[in-house]
Every structure is written in structure tokens, then in C-alpha cells.
Copies of this chain bind each other. A is one copy, B any other.
Amino acid sequence: MSDASFHQSPLLGGPAPVFDVEATDGNARAGKLRLARGTIETPIFMPVGTVGSVKMMDPTELNDVGAQIILGNTYHLYLRPGKEVLEHAGGLHRWMGWDKPMLTDSGGFQFFSLAHLAKFGEDGVRFKSHIDGSHHHFTPESVMAMQAAIGSDIRMVLDHVLALPASREALEDAMRRSTRWALRCLDAPRESGAAVFAILQGGTDHALRARHRDDLCGHDFDGFAIGGLSVGEPPEVMYEVLNRLAPTMPQHKPRYLMGVGTPRDIVRAIAEGVDMFDCVMPTRNARNGTVFTRDGRLNLRNAQHRLSERALDDECTCYACRTFSRGYIHHLVRSKESLGPRLLSVHNLHYYLDLVREARAAIQSGVFSQWQQATEARWDAASESS
């Protein structure tokens, strides 16, 4: 993949993305991000559709749970179905029946999590497919061309993510390279209307975080992401990084915390001024039988639910909660009927999207910290009683 030409995806075009902060409450922000395919109300959670489908969900269900934007993984889509197929199809949106905005990552995180398969150089990354072992090469330019073939609305720069612990010298080298690559991505051709977000690295070192912020935030990116968190460090360490970093990022650009996290992580990050989130947790946990509720987590495999006539969450309005009891879903999960994890996925995504909607409303009403306190208190009470 070294072709820097790009595919003109349908529906893109028009003015550059615009982000407006409409209300603040402490460091928390409620905003609107206007993109070619629609406007996103922030804070927002983005369901993850790794290979062109949010697992177990069809586009109608994604709309029903309130998804405003979804995420696709460039590394996975490059390997399967591949650039040729996506260009032939006219981009991923039409192919998968999704007409709202989409964000694509760059593959940087996959090279980190599949590190034994990747070799970094100044030009880019050479790697072996985790599917068939075939050899490939990503450059900042080819990653942008691949994201153009997908036709995503928001495109992430290629970055060099290191596994921790790493020496300070190695971390600084990777950061400097990530900066050079980010600027090459910014210079790569793209259609009008397509946004490019930079990714701030620096691990859990506050000085490095500040440096990478200063290196990147003067450039004309459409938004800034915080990468390299929630990779094994304790939650409190992540919260401390967010507390120092997020409020100092550009005020008039969206802030995106990549790959995070639990409902509590999201509420804490919103409090620090983060606007956008993605995570596989709601869909992955659903496939393992677990749901998130206003009163904490439930494992639907547990025999205690066998005769339950309660909804997963009494206050939830998702299709699963409107239609089925815990007892029925317990039966589906135990019987390995795929409708079980599907209903749990519907609920979990609806719950995550309710959570960010409630946070947004609380920020707009100026009661965010009271809302945060009450929300976390219910989770705490549930975990103490269980």
C-alpha cells in the first residue's frame, strides 16, 4: 500500500469540520462537531465496527441505540476486505448501510497490540498480517489514502506507540517520529470535508505529555486525541494524566480519548474536558454475558436471573429492556442462542449513549458535578451490596 492517490468518497465534500463548545461546567464541555455527514453532539461515545460491522448490530439497531458516529479500524479493513474492494464499493458507508459520520483509526494501536508482527522505520511500518502472515507496509501517506478509500469523516494520523515500560530515550524518539508522521498525514491529500485528528502520546509521564501536546497542538489539525492510555496502568494513574493534560489542550478543538473505557472512566474523563470516546467494552462484554446498568454490572449467566421478570435496567428504554426479562435473556445466554449477546450488545451501547447524553444534559444545565456524584454513588452502592 504505497499509493498516495485517494478515492473521492460519496457524501464527503463541502466546508471543513467545525467544532463549537456550547456550554462548560467546570472543565466539562458540551459541544457540537459539524461534519459533512451530520453533526455530533458531544460528549459522545462511538461504537466500534472493527471490520465494517459493529459486532452483532445492524445499522437500524445502531440508529435505535442513538449512535451518532461509529468507528472503523483501518488496519483490519486494509487486510479484509482491502482497499480495492472498498474503492470498488464507493467507500464503506454505502457498503455497510451507514449514512452518519464515521471515524477511522490509523493502525498505530494495532501495531502496538500486535507488536511482534511490526517493524518500525522512519518511512513507516512493515508488518505481517495476523490473518495469513503476508507482508505489508504502511506509511503516513498510505494510511491516509486507505482512510480515503474507506471514506471516513474523521481520520487519525499514523503514530508510533511503544509498549511500557520503555526508556525515556525510546519514548522521546517514538514521540518525535509520531510528530513527523502526524505532519505528513496532515499534508497528505484528502477530500474537502474530511477531518484529520492528531494523537498525543507520552505514556504516563506528565512532562512528555506536555511536550507532545506543544509539538502538535500548534498545527492545523481538526481535533486532538489522547492515545496510549488504558493499556494496563491503574485507573487513578490515567485519571491523573487526564486531569493534567485535557484542560490544557486547545479549547476550540474536539478532544478524543482513544479506546476508553468503563462507564466510570468515561464520566471521569468528561469531567476533565474530554469530548469523544470509543471502546470495544460494551460489545465485547455483551458477548461474554455482561451488561452495564445504572446500578452496576450484571452477569446474565448467573442462575440468580433464571426466574427474574425484571428488565436489565428498569430505567433503560432500549429494545431489549422494553421487550425482554432478565430471565429470558439468561435462558438465551445459557442456551448459546445468538439473540442473547445481541440483545446485551443493544443494551450496552444504548446504556453508553444514554450515559453521554445525560452527561451532556447535566453540563448544559450546570449540574455536572452533582450528576457525576449521584451516578457514581449508585455504581458504588451496587458494588458494595454485591
Contacts and interface: CB of A to CB of B under 8 A. Distances in A.
Given A80-B331, A81-B331, A335-B80, A325 B53 contact: no
B53 A337 contact: yes
Contact of A338 (B325, B327, B331, B338): B338
Interface stretch (A36-44, A88-96, A120-128, A196-204): A88-96
A309 interface: yes
B338 A55 contact: yes
A323 interface: yes
A208 interface: no
Interface stretch (A23-31, A56-64, A226-234, A269-277): A56-64
Interface in A287-331: 306-307, 309, 319, 323-325, 327-328, 331
A73 to B, nearest CB: 12
B331 A85 contact: yes
B80 A328 contact: no
Contacts of A337: 51-53, 55
Contact of A328 (B52, B60, B307, B339): B52
Contacts of A4: none
A89 B332 contact: no
Nearest to A79: B335
A369 B334 CA distance: 47
Interface string A192-232: 00000000000000000000000000000000000000000
Indicate the size class of the contact surface on chain A: 35 or more
B55 A96 contact: no
**A59, A307, A331, A343, most chain B CB atoms within 10 A:** A331
Contacts of A59: 323
Contact of A85 (B80, B89, B307, B324): B307
A14 interface: no
B95 A58 contact: no
Given A80-B331, A96-B328, A307 B88 contact: yes
A57 B95 contact: no
Nearest to A56: B338
A140 B337 CA distance: 29
A97 interface: yes
A325 B95 CA distance: 7
Contacts of A332: 52-53
Nearest 5 Cβ contacts at the A-B interface: A81-B331, A53-B337, A97-B323, A53-B339, A51-B335
